[in-house]
Chains A and B, each alone.
Chain A
Amino acid sequence: MVGDQGLVSVTERDVVAPPRATAARRISTFLSSHARARLALLLSAPLAWLVLVYIVALAALLITALWTVDSFTGEITQTWNLDNIIEVVTGSLYQAVTLRTIGVALLVTVVDIVIALPIAFFMAKVASPRLQRILVIAVLMPLWASYLVKAYAWRSVLAEGGLADSVSGGNSPGYGLPATIVTLAYLWLPYVILPIYAGLERVPNSLLEASSDLGASTGRTLRLIVLPMLWPAIIAGSIFSFSLSLGDYITVNIVGGANQLLGNLVYTNVGAANNLPLAAAIALIPIAIMVVYLGVVRRTGALENL
């Protein structure tokens, strides 16, 4: 019938009418010739959401950090000042805790990468396809269990007379920063293995073979061929483990003994102290650290290869 109408219209009308200029058609014509407008429309909804969720929340955080709390009524006084930020930047407590947090996050990241590299290499280059699938599932498996369950499991492992004690003959590190690093490294390991595994998958076997054919030793091949190609994936994994460690406060509460990290300071200031502005100011520290970290990473050029 559609074809009929087309034919009939030629006889019934004098000329072939151009498509009727409906609003939809006008928009469609406009969009087909304006690629940028097309892109803008496509992305505006998700971007609006992104702005709402991330940018507005961050802005609210920044603004709150500029207010103060009336210590008696517990209500926020909306007078602008930099007291909280100055206190957080200059206070020796915050400097010490910030350094401790960065140290923990760096060590967790290093431990994770060192463990993840051989595992990921085995998964991507050595294992049979069948074993590969099983290993991916095995790596993902811990993510099915609750964070808290895993942290408390480590608490009992590290407890006096626990597994760590009986394996090491009573030399368990006990609760403290080492326990925190071990537990966090365990928690974030899948997030580091997966990007490195994906990165290794993209390294063609032919390159490794060519390198070997040209007489390079295994170590040289790894150093000169694999590592440069893998660098962006390692960076991606490190961003996960580093940023997740920076914000953590539950693990250190469970296995960290008497130590506190930045997250604990935020938590006590919101919960116990009812001082949201100071908590917001403290929360800006990990954000600033991540901005610096991403800036450094960007300079190495690793982000472009992601």
Chain B
Amino acid sequence: MHRITARQPALLAGLAIASVALLTACGTSSPSGGGETSAATEIGEGEGSVSILAWPGYVEDGTNDPEVDWVSDFETQTGCTVTSKTYGTSDEAFSLMKTGDYDVVAASGDLSLRLVAAGDVAAVNTDLLENYDAIYDFLKMQSWNSVDGVSYGIPHGYGANLLMYNTDEFETAPTSWDVVFDKASENKGKVTAYDSPIYIADAAVYLMAHEPDLGITNPYALDETQLAAAVDLLKAQRENIGEYWSDYLKEVSAFETGDSVVGTTWQVIQNSVTTGNTEVVLPEEGTTGWSDTWMVASEAKSPNCAYEWLDYIASPEANAAATAYFGEAPSSDAACEFRDDCESYHAGDEDYASQIWYWSTPIAECLDGRTDVECTDYSAWTTAWSEIKG
């Protein structure tokens, strides 16, 4: 069985990021300094308030749905009043963090490293967090939440981009992504794909297994040739695409009506489809996914309340509530005690998790440690993505 592990390049990626971080630190004469590597040594008295930047659905205080509230408990427990802002894309969050208005940020892997490199977030002393121990080991100290052996946050939850298919169209379950790539023409006009440059990594994962000659070892570290191969694959796929999706409700409706019959998806989408004629699989090539991290701003105005929040949101009950609401696996077995759907998210299944290449920001310095070539960065991916869509 061909299995891909996301861990091997972690150390190299960490080194690469660290060196970039160093360069950035030298390049900008930050007057504050200091904040980048010195983690807190104790949690002091709370400051009375904490400002949080997060994905929608991560910080719910009951205003959206009175039933959905895990912030009020935190406020009564710690006396820290929470103000929160949500963001729609990692890029938006990146520019919002530059304002310095936020103490805590929930970052996906395609954001976290940029924040570390730009010095916007501080190292996190996980010894201070009671709930850190219970978190799954395979989420700790990964390339997207630590640099050079220093932790920059605590895991929140994770999920995989899965292959969803319509059971009326597929008599046997597909086992490979080839149904959306090489064999996509069998369902011409009914294939769907995620509408973001980061989807290029999905093509790279496929090429890793099917075109070993290209030498791709990390789908987020593509040199010019490898990117061109992925772009060609996606341009061929484009001919068979019915529509792309980025709003998950759009994909739910497309699968319910039958406008899409096969394509990449999230577990929460499968859970939302009401017609019951869809299934999801994790194909044999492995897949991409996301693993989110709570991070503390390097110039946080309320560092103590920020640590309180990190500890609270990792606590089983709060973590269960937040990850269940968003539709992803929680960060600990203890959290599963408070959820009844952990199995469908494969929470704690390390084998399952090891097949996921978590989103990372592609940067010029190859994440897989190659030094003889320059890799394509996210802006090159964005341009490529526009060209693929044509």
A residues in contact (CB < 8 Å) with B:
69, 71-75, 93, 96-97, 155-156, 159-162, 174-175, 254, 256-260, 265, 268-269, 271-275
Contacts and interface: CB of A to CB of B under 8 A. Distances in A.
B220 to A, nearest CB: 15
Contact of B387 (A75, A93, A272, A273): A93
B243 A175 contact: yes
12 contacts: A73-B118, A74-B91, A155-B253, A160-B257, A175-B242, A175-B259, A258-B389, A265-B386, A268-B385, A272-B385, A273-B378, A274-B91
Contacts of A71: 364, 377-380
A258 B88 CA distance: 21
Given A257-B242, A258-B242, A268 B382 contact: yes
Given A159-B257, A160-B257, A260-B390, A272 B244 contact: no
Contacts of B383: 273
Q: Is the interface of A mostly helix, strand, loop or mixed?
A: loop
A257 B197 CA distance: 17
Interface string B364-382: 1000000000000111101
A232 B89 CA distance: 45
B200 interface: no
A93 B243 CA distance: 19
A265 B382 CA distance: 10
B258 interface: yes
Contacts of A162: 257
Given A74-B95, A174-B259, A272-B91, A69 B379 contact: yes
Contacts of A254: 250
Nearest to B196: A272
A137 B88 CA distance: 39
A271 B92 CA distance: 7
A83 to B, nearest CB: 12
Contacts of B95: 74, 274
Nearest to A282: B386
Contacts of A258: 238, 241-244, 389
B117 interface: yes
B259 A160 contact: yes
Interface residues of B, number: 38
Nearest to A268: B386
B156 interface: no
Contacts, number: 85
Nearest to A92: B387
Contacts of B117: 72
B363 interface: yes
A58 to B, nearest CB: 23
Contact of A174 (B24, B114, B189, B387): B189
B136 interface: no
B114 A74 contact: yes
Task: Determine which residue in B114, B380, B387, B389 has the highest number of CB atoms from chain A within 10 A of its CB, and name it.
Answer: B389
Nearest to B389: A260
B94 interface: yes
Contacts of A256: 243
Contact of A272 (B89, B189, B364): B89
Interface string B82-93: 000000110110
Contact of B382 (A96, A160, A174, A275): A275
Nearest to B244: A258
A74 B93 CA distance: 11
Nearest to B92: A271
Interface string B176-196: 000000000000010000001
Given A93-B386, A93-B387, A260-B389, A74 B242 contact: no
Nearest to A73: B118
Interface string B153-173: 000000000000000000000
B390 A96 contact: yes
Contacts of A273: 91, 197, 378-379, 382-383
B242 A271 contact: no
Given A71-B377, A71-B379, A93 B390 contact: yes
B243 A160 contact: no
A98 to B, nearest CB: 12
Contacts of A174: 189, 242, 259
Interface string B242-272: 1110000010010001110000000000000
- Residue in B24, B98, B379 whose Cβ sees the most chain A Cβ within 10 Å: B379
Contacts of A155: 253
B94 A74 contact: yes
Contacts of A159: 253, 257, 259
Nearest to B242: A257
A93 B384 CA distance: 10
Given A69-B379, A93-B387, A268-B382, 19 more contacts: A71-B378, A71-B379, A72-B117, A72-B377, A73-B24, A93-B386, A156-B253, A160-B258, A162-B257, A175-B259, A257-B243, A259-B389, A268-B385, A268-B386, A271-B92, A272-B196, A273-B383, A274-B94, A275-B382
A260 B253 CA distance: 20
Contacts of B257: 156, 159-162
A71 B238 CA distance: 27
A73 to B, nearest CB: 6
Contacts of A268: 382, 385-386
A35 to B, nearest CB: 51
Shortest Cβ-Cβ A-B pairs, 10 listed: A273-B382, A274-B91, A71-B379, A159-B257, A258-B241, A160-B258, A257-B243, A160-B259, A160-B257, A93-B387
B339 to A, nearest CB: 32
Interface string B228-239: 000000000010
Contact of A271 (B88, B253, B387): B88
Nearest to B197: A272
A268 B95 CA distance: 16
B277 to A, nearest CB: 13
Nearest to B192: A258
Given A74-B94, A161-B258, A272 B243 contact: no
A304 B253 CA distance: 49
B120 to A, nearest CB: 10
Interface in B73-103: 88-89, 91-92, 94-95, 98
Nearest to B379: A71
Contacts of B387: 93
